[in-house]
A and B are shown apart, each in its own frame.
Chain A
């Protein structure tokens, strides 16, 4: 397989999405702290379940991005997800990191 900038981006994003997704599924109680209050208020399900669903979606999106399935759509969803997280975090180091990751995902959306 030829190594291209796109491949490197996909592997990098997939690693991030797999790590967070798997950890959220293994122990959702670790992650409830990161759910914005408005999400908890607006949803009828428990914070743990929100974390589990989010983890599952991140693993699926990571796999899709890694394998190149629905690549642009998956990358766009990941980018919007990350921008949303960054926005909810406000002015913080974690938010800046997520903005960087979101732009990585956007690069896949607009790749030739």
Chain B
């Protein structure tokens, strides 16, 4: 067992072996990373703007009522800072468990509060990465869902 700063050959060999094995695993995994799908200009614009600044141009306006209908694991929309995202594909991937996300599907204020409380405010910038931008939250009558 390691004690102090003295390292024998066997210990160093084990350390090198671990680093090589994990390094090899990483190299293999990096080679298997999915290449990002080509995006059209609209998608790029939406992602770039993210939730910090609603995209310009023709963007669907989504009412609170419409947002609230997308509240299940198979259909999960959330709103942050006025931008609405479809995070359905990510619901099952949430490291903190699916239930934690489902409880905020279809929500705006509750989603913001939960996200900020659990993960910090700057994580909201990653929403375009884990979901797709759907539109902006509004109160206009006849807003499409």
Complex CA gap A57/B118 in Å reads 24
Within the complex, the shortest CB–CB distance from A68 to chain B, in Å, comes to: 4
Contacts of B18 in A (CB 8 A): 60, 63-64, 67, 69
Within the complex, the shortest CB–CB distance from A35 to chain B, in Å, comes to: 7
18 further interface pairs, Cβ-Cβ under 8 Å (given A30-B95, A37-B122, A37-B126): A25-B26, A27-B93, A30-B93, A31-B95, A32-B126, A35-B126, A52-B33, A56-B23, A60-B18, A64-B15, A67-B18, A68-B1, A69-B14, A70-B7, A88-B120, A89-B118, A93-B117, A94-B119
Within the complex, the shortest CB–CB distance from B39 to chain A, in Å, comes to: 15
Contacts of A55 in B (CB 8 A): 26
8 contacts between A and B (CB under 8 A): A33-B130, A40-B125, A59-B22, A60-B22, A64-B15, A67-B14, A71-B2, A93-B117
On whether A89 and B129 interact (CB within 8 A), knowing A29-B93, A56-B25, A68-B2, the answer reads: no
Interchain CB contact under 8 A, A38 and B30: no
Chain A residues at the B interface, C-beta cutoff of 8 Å: 23, 25, 27-38, 40, 46-49, 52-53, 55-56, 59-60, 63-64, 67-71, 88-94
Chain B residues at the A interface, C-beta cutoff of 8 Å: 1-3, 7, 11, 14-15, 18-19, 22-23, 25-26, 29-30, 33, 93-95, 117-123, 125-126, 129-130
Contacts of B25 in A (CB 8 A): 25, 56
Complex CA gap A39/B10 in Å reads 37
Interchain CB contact under 8 A, A36 and B129: no
Interchain CB contact under 8 A, B126 and A33: yes
Interchain CB contact under 8 A, B120 and A69: no
Interchain CB contact under 8 A, B126 and A47: yes
Complex CA gap A69/B26 in Å reads 21
Complex CA gap A90/B119 in Å reads 8
Complex CA gap A63/B2 in Å reads 13
Interchain CB contact under 8 A, B119 and A33: yes
On whether A49 and B120 interact (CB within 8 A), knowing A63-B18, A70-B15, the answer reads: no
